[in-house]
Amino acid sequence: MKIFQQSFKFLAIVSLLFFSTVSFANNSSEGDGQVDTKSEVDAYILHHIQDSHDFTLFSYTSDAGERKHVGFPLPVILWTSNGLTTFMSSAFHHNDDGSVIVEKNGLKFAKIHSKIYELDAGASEVKFDEDNHAANGHKVLDFSITKSVLGVLLIGLLMLFWFSRLAKQYKKKQIPTGFARVLEPLVIYVRDEIARPNIGDKHYRKFTGYLLTVFFFIWLLNLLGLTPFGFNVTGQLAVTACLAIFTLIIYTVSGNRDYWQHILWMPGVPILIRPVLAVIELAGAFVIKPFSLLVRLFANISAGHIVVMSLIAIMFTLKDSLGVVGATGLSLVLSFFITLIEVLVAFLQAYIFTMLSALFIGMAVAEHDHDHAHDDHGHEVPDAEDVRGDFI
């Protein structure tokens, strides 16, 4: 049974890589069967890691030379000069250069580089400035259900379903069954190995729910990004920044008197140094810590996607020198091992984000002992009991 499960996992990974390869080939080939140039491959990789207003599984070029996209549209929700405007993303016909203008509620909209612009009154076409932006239009507030938002909603609903079942089984004092048996050891691990050691026995229960949510949310989204459906949710700065801001709010609001005293007026150091340390500590609490959280997750996940897609592109860039069979085999082997590493990275990045969040929260709620006296220079003066204890 164990051998069967391992074989199934192996076949699943190979199937995902094969599907990704076919999808990439369909997106990177022209109507006459020739492969796009290196710049077009680079453009496709960058397009893959970006968010989009529609969900495209794969694309191909028809016999008539028309580009066809297989997928489904997503709702476009905009706040414009005339209020709320909604329509489906299929109205843009997958054109991202502003050549298609959508008219809704008496307004005209164009999508340029995945950004939607509201054109000025009377405009019949898009005029571009030096930065390739719409010169005769302005951006609107975009609340659309993009591919990343769809991924967030999907994982959120799955987590709500799985953990609701696990909670019901715990409430009835039943042994977890089904997928809950997979979740239980991970829940215990986050509680006993991340939350309790870093926050302390007194306060860890208060924050365990948040840490569990963050861990599973990031981990499952990272795994979803390894599928050939084109999700790259944790590779979006908006998502990682939002997660980092949540952690910032929690440890800022939960900080006790000792925490703020150590930030604003550090005890145990000379008085002249304390204002300098206050500036450094404030920068660390409100800038450096959340910035390190959001950049680490964003950079590692995005880099992983770029590496995998670049290795798949080997079959096109080296086809002439290695041949079709050689380039395809090399691409598949390298992509397979990198994907295995990315499975580990998916878990590792969720662990690191959760661990650092627990560490920052633990620093905010930790209680310090300030009963010791200090001399005129701010140095702690040990009492007689401490001195005798050092010699025992």
Same domain, 153 and 281: yes
Distances (CA, A) of 247 to 218, 255, 347: 14, 12, 19
Q: Is residue 62 part of a domain?
A: no
Same domain, 133 and 250: no
Same domain, 137 and 171: no
Per DSSP, the three-state class of 182 is: helix
Same domain, 124 and 219: no
Count Cβ neighbours within 10 Å for each residue of 234-268 and write b for 16 or more, e otherwise: bbbeebbbebbeebbebbeebbeebbeebbeebee
User: What's residue 251's pLDDT?
Assistant: 95
User: What's residue 103's pLDDT?
Assistant: 87
Straight-line distance from the first to the last Cα atom of the chain, in angstroms, rounded to the nearest whole number: 60
Q: Is residue 95 part of a domain?
A: yes
Percent of the chain that is helix, strand, coil (3-state, to 5):
60, 15, 25
Please say whether the beta carbons of 56 and 70 come within 8 A.
yes
Q: How far is residue 113's CA from residue 137's CA, in Å, rounded to a whole number?
A: 14
Same domain, 138 and 159: no
Q: How many domains does the chain have?
A: 2
Q: Write out the two tokens for 208.
A: 């365990």
Which of 105, 126, 144 is the last residue in one of the domains? 144
Q: Write out the two tokens for 386.
A: 């401490």
Q: Is residue 385 part of a domain?
A: no
Q: How far is residue 226's CA from residue 349's CA, in Å, rounded to a whole number?
A: 14
Same domain, 171 and 299: yes
Q: How far is residue 219's CA from residue 207's CA, in Å, rounded to a whole number?
A: 18
For residue 338, which phi and psi values (nearest 5 degrees)? -65, -35
User: What's residue 10's pLDDT?
Assistant: 40
Q: Is residue 36 part of a domain?
A: no
Q: Is residue 302 part of a domain?
A: yes
Please say whether the beta carbons of 49 and 117 come within 8 A.
no
More confident residue, 224 or 325: 224
Q: Is residue 299 part of a domain?
A: yes
pLDDT, tens only, 208-232 = 999 999 999 999 999 998 887 878 8
pLDDT, tens only, 159-178 = 999 999 888 888 887 788 87
Same domain, 111 and 184: no
For 3, counting Cβ atoms within 10 Å of its Cβ (0-12 exposed, 13-18 middle, 19+ buried), the class is exposed
Same domain, 91 and 226: no
User: What's residue 65's pLDDT?
Assistant: 67
Which range, 106-115, 332-341, 348-357, 371-380, has the best average confidence (pLDDT)? Answer: 348-357
Please say whether the beta carbons of 218 and 234 come within 8 A.
yes
Please say whether the beta carbons of 151 and 239 come within 8 A.
no
Average pLDDT of the chain to the nearest whole number:
79
Per DSSP, the three-state class of 35 is: strand
What percent of the chain is predicted at pLDDT more than 90?
39
Q: How far is residue 172's CA from residue 76's CA, in Å, rounded to a whole number?
A: 43
Opening angle at CA 239, ends 345 and 21, nearest 5? 50
Same domain, 185 and 229: yes
Q: Is residue 107 part of a domain?
A: yes
Which of 144, 159, 185 is the last residue in one of the domains? 144
**Band of pLDDT at residue 365, cut at 50, 70 and 90:** very high
Whether 386 shows a pLDDT value over 60: the answer reads no
Contacts of 206 (CB under 8 A, 6+ apart): 254
How many residues belong to the chain?
Answer: 392
Same domain, 198 and 341: yes
Q: Is residue 229 part of a domain?
A: yes
Same domain, 120 and 218: no
pLDDT, tens only, 114-162 = 888 888 877 777 777 777 777 778 888 999 999 999 999 999 999 999 9
Domain of residue 225, residue span: 148-370
Same domain, 222 and 340: yes
Per DSSP, the three-state class of 270 is: coil
**Band of pLDDT at residue 35, cut at 50, 70 and 90:** very low
Per DSSP, the three-state class of 102 is: strand
Q: Where are the beta strands (DSSP E) in the chain?
A: 54-61, 67-73, 75-80, 83-88, 102-104, 107-112, 115-119, 137-139, 141-142, 373-374, 380-381
Contacts of 132 (CB under 8 A, 6+ apart): 112, 113
Per DSSP, the three-state class of 350 is: helix
Stated as kind and residue range, the H or E segment containing 157 is helix 147-171
For 119, counting Cβ atoms within 10 Å of its Cβ (0-12 exposed, 13-18 middle, 19+ buried), the class is buried
